[in-house]
Structures are given as structure tokens and as C-alpha cells.
Amino acid sequence: MNNTLILPLAVLLDLLFGDPPNAFHPVAWFGKIARALERRAPRDNPRAELVYGAGMTACGIALAALPAFVVRALARKRSDKSLTTSHVLLTAVALKTTFAWRGLIRAGKDVQRDLETRAADAARDDLRALVSRDTRELDASQLSAAAIESLAENAGDSFVAPLFYYYLFGLPGAFAYRVVNTLDSMIGYHGRYEFLGKVAARVDDVLNFVPARLTALLLVIAARLTRDDARRAWETMRCDHARTESPNAGYPMSAMAGALDVRLEKVGHYRLNENGRAPQPRDIQRAARIVSVALGVAVILSILVGARDQILNRKS
């Protein structure tokens, strides 16, 4: 696939229009399927839940490839050429549904606006678009911290990782990643879904191993470009990345904490950049700026790598 055309077009579609309505969004379709499967899952039987959850994950990955292959077949139906206008357009539209740049930044800005107008309850509601934790007891500083953390982590989950797997495996790779990440967000945590979501959570950990670390490096680079504290971002990432329960989330979150020189804390779980100041609503905007620059760098690098590969393929 010609990423020098498809990827910029997909990003442009995202920045101009954002996410399509759920009725037309493949990830939302899968979410409904996963919810229906979850309602039929066994209860109070750890072994059965584990096997059922593994089946959900395997079926989800297999199902994810279907729309990608359909798009490929439709795009090439009228031509034997590897690149046609329909191919580029359909692939770009499909690829756009696997990531969210505009939606991520907008969600962060919504929380910031609520906090600046002292609408704490509205901020708690808007924050649910970014986090799965209980937000009812969080004060303004903790709400700001949660929004900043989520901007950093979701820069990987919602953008860098889908592009990474698109580059490696095309649309099937990007869709498969989104399915696993969706399952992880729905059932991949402790408590009620301890065994049902274990396989999805572990697969998500594996898939995010490289993208999370790439995202952290991109945030460090972006901090330099935005004249934030890139050195502290690097040092905080090296020292604090292992403090979170997730083996991956700590990398981009600690890099962001250092870049802004703020303390990011989930009470009773972790504290990143411990000596930093308490975050304020205005820091959400700074975090959003760093994330946007980081994602822009990711797009440019992806295009350059794709162009290099095309040149090498032609020479060979």
C-alpha cells in the first residue's frame, strides 16, 4: 500500500471530520458484538471464563480481518493495478476508523474547559471518554492529572499502535489491534472480569510493548519541539516507567509527567515524577499540544519510512 498517499489522507479525514457515528464505525460494531458475548459468558467458574475469554479474543482477531479484506477486494475489483483511486480512498477511510487524533484532543479540551469554568461534575462526566476509573471522588487537580495521563497513554493506544500494526500488516493488522484493545478496555481488568478478560489483557500488553515505548520517545521529541522539558521527560521515563501496574502505560505517562514537570498520581497505585507540582487545568492544554506534535512526528516518520521502502522495492 502506498502510505505516502493513504496515511496522509486518513489523517486528514480524521482531523476534518473526527470519528464517524457509531452506526458506521467498525470498532463500535465490534463493541456491540463483544458486549453480547460478554452477557453470555460463564460465571463463577474461572477455568470456563478463561477459555471463553480466550475464544472471544481469538474470534475477535479473526473477525477484525474481514472488513479489511472486504475493503481490499472492493478497491481492486475494477483494476489489476496495485494502486487505484478507489484503493487509496477506501483504504484511507477504513484506516481512519482505527485511530482517533481529533477525538482524543477534543476529549482533553472538554475536561479542561469544564475545570476552568468550575464545572467539576461535567469534567467527571467528560473524563469518562478518556478513562475507565471511578472519577466521582477526584478533585480538580486529580481530574487534571487523569486527563493528562490519558492523553499520553491514548496517544499510543489510539494512534501510534494502530499505525504501527498497519505498517507491519496492513489494514488487517490495524483492525486486529483495535479489536484486542477494545476487548481489553471492556473486560481486561481485575474484579468481575479477572479471568474472562485475562487473555485479552495479556495479548494487549504484548501488542503494546513496542508502540508504548515508541510513543514515549515521540513525546520526548515533541517536548523538545514545543520547548517543554525534554530532558526531564527522558529522565522521568527512565526512572518511573515501572511504577504503574501496566507494563506499558508507565512509559508515555511518565514521559509526559516529566515534560510538564507535574506529579501524576493515581491514589493508592502510583505516583510519577514525585517531586513535580500538582497539575492544573491549563496543563491539559500543554499535554494536548505535546501529544499533537508527537503524533505529527509519527505521521511524518511513517510516510518517510514508507517512501524509503517503495524506493528500495523498485530498485530490487
Q: Which residues of the chain have pLDDT under 50?
A: 1
What pLDDT score was predicted for residue 74? 67
pLDDT single digits (tens) 58-80: 999 988 877 777 766 666 555 55
* pLDDT at 154 (0 to 100): 96
How is the chain split into domains, by residue range? 3-315
Looking from the CA of 275 toward its CB, the CA atoms found within 13 Å total: 4
Please give the pLDDT value at position 90: 86
Cell of 123: 469534567
Cα–Cα distance between 179 and 182 in angstroms, integer? 5
The whole-number pLDDT of residue 137 equals 78
pLDDT tens track for 217-242: 999 999 999 999 999 999 999 999 99
pLDDT at residue 69, as a whole number = 72
